[in-house]
Amino acid sequence: MDKDTLWSVIGHSWAVAQLQRAIRAKHQAHAYLFTGPAHVGRRTLALALARALNCTGEQPPCDLNAGDVCRACRLIAAEKHPDVRVLAPEGASLKIDQIRALQHDLALSPVEGLFRVAIIDGMEQATVEASNALLKTLEEPSTCVVLILIASEPDILLPTIVSRCQHLPLRALAVEQVSQALVEHWTVEPQRADELAHLSGGRLGWAVMAHQDETVLQKRASGLDDLLRLLDGKRVARFAYAKRLADDQAAVLETLELWEIWWRDVMLLAAGSTAPLVNIDRLAVLKQHAARFGVDRAREVLEALSRTARQVAHNANARLALEVLMLDLPRA
């Protein structure tokens, strides 16, 4: 790890520095909210915070790339520490039973660490009942419990939840930083690293997944092919696609995110922005879309996509939400 890489976390150094200052001063919050795009490093940072709180090494938290890693850091990094729970939606949503089971655990003293840490990854998929149940825990903080909520953006959550958390908004890393990390830590060949870094849009976790699992790039390609086909397609074909996609909620959110990134590129190009594009391997089509749809239309599609993602995350009828989206998609 580079000397300036704190807590074995690549990027997000401002957030790590802020958390580190708080822990050194013993002023850490009872609850944190980490937001940002999926695979940008939110869970990595949450696990690093859990290590910093429970590390028994000399310079907490231990450097995971060094030889001497304490038992607590080792177990937490592997998500196997008895006092650190990682919760994610079961099926389509994060359910009240999951929150209740968590609360039962949090009421007990730590088994071997100093803090019980609960990481809730995918808070935007919590049902209203689950959110309200969690509110109780947030309202009655315990001195040896730290909650870390992970969500794409704060607006999706109940304001009463957000206001009780310290909010750290994580942003995409610079393309160069992702590329460099791939070369240095995952021994990716430089040209390939640069390509993956672009396609990741600054989400290191996505770039690593795409490097390790070729189906990630295949899924991306077919998701974009679907979008281009739908722009040409008639309403019947669009509705048939909505029905098929609606059956798999994880795929719905992934597809919507992929399409959002596409339309953001279209908007940037149409606006003549110099910000780096993500879908550089399909530049010719992006340019056609930018010329054809312009900034305003691209923005409308982006809004429709994010509205749909929000509805699906909130357990609205996915098929209906997608059908409305299909009517909002322009014709190529």
Q: Reduced to 3 states, what is the DSSP secondary structure of residue 29?
A: coil
Cα distances from 195 to residues 180, 210, 309, in angstroms, run: 12, 11, 27
Residue type, 30: H
Q: How far apart are the first and last CA of the chain?
A: 47
Binding residue for Zn ion (CB under 5 A) from 55, 118, 148, 161? 55
Instruction: Return left, alpha or beta for 247; rule: phi > 0 is left, psi -120 to 50 is alpha, else beta.
Output: alpha
In the bound state with Zn ion, the residue whose beta carbon lies nearer, of 57 and 294, is 57
Which of the stretches 54-62, 90-98, 135-143, 259-267 binds Zn ion when contact is defined by CB under 5 A?
54-62
70 interacts with Zn ion by CB under 5 A: yes
In the bound state with Zn ion, the residue whose beta carbon lies nearer, of 55 and 199, is 55
In the bound state with Zn ion, the residue whose beta carbon lies nearer, of 73 and 326, is 73
Taking the alpha carbons of 154, 160, 165, 166 in that order, is the dihedral positive or negative?
positive
Please, what is the minimum distance in Å from the beta carbon of residue 81 to Zn ion? 11
Question: Tokens 């939606």 correspond to what residue?
Answer: 89
Please, what is the minimum distance in Å from the beta carbon of residue 14 to Zn ion? 23
Which of the stretches 59-67, 204-212, 214-222, 251-259 binds Zn ion when contact is defined by CB under 5 A?
59-67
Which of the stretches 53-61, 150-158, 178-186, 265-273 binds Zn ion when contact is defined by CB under 5 A?
53-61
Whole-number Å distance between alpha carbons of 138 and 33: 12
Burial of residue 234 (number of CB atoms within 10 Å: 0-12, 13-18, 19+): exposed
Whole-number Å distance between alpha carbons of 177 and 10: 8
Q: Are the CB atoms for 295 and 286 separated by under 8 Å?
A: no
In the bound state with Zn ion, the residue whose beta carbon lies nearer, of 56 and 288, is 56
Which of the stretches 67-75, 85-93, 200-208, 209-217 binds Zn ion when contact is defined by CB under 5 A?
67-75
Taking the alpha carbons of 95, 125, 44, 168 in that order, is the dihedral positive or negative?
negative
How many chain residues touch Zn ion (CB under 5 A)? 5
* Span 268-307, contacts to Zn ion by CB under 5 A: none
In the bound state with Zn ion, the residue whose beta carbon lies nearer, of 81 and 238, is 81
Cα distances from 154 to residues 4, 175, 183, 213, in angstroms, run: 29, 25, 33, 30
Please, what is the minimum distance in Å from the beta carbon of residue 78 to Zn ion? 13
Please, what is the minimum distance in Å from the beta carbon of residue 74 to Zn ion? 8
Binding residue for Zn ion (CB under 5 A) from 19, 62, 130, 256? 62
Please, what is the minimum distance in Å from the beta carbon of residue 62 to Zn ion? 3
6 interacts with Zn ion by CB under 5 A: no
74 interacts with Zn ion by CB under 5 A: no
Q: How far is CA 209 from the centre of its chain?
A: 13
Q: Are the CB atoms for 94 and 158 separated by under 8 Å?
A: no
In the bound state with Zn ion, the residue whose beta carbon lies nearer, of 31 and 76, is 76
256 interacts with Zn ion by CB under 5 A: no
Which of the stretches 29-37, 64-72, 196-204, 231-239 binds Zn ion when contact is defined by CB under 5 A?
64-72
- DSSP letters, 136-167, are HHHHS--TTEEEEEEES-GGGS-HHHHTTSEE
73 interacts with Zn ion by CB under 5 A: yes
Please, what is the minimum distance in Å from the beta carbon of residue 121 to Zn ion? 22
Binding residue for Zn ion (CB under 5 A) from 38, 57, 158, 171? 57
Site residues (CB under 5 A) for Zn ion? 55, 57, 62, 70, 73
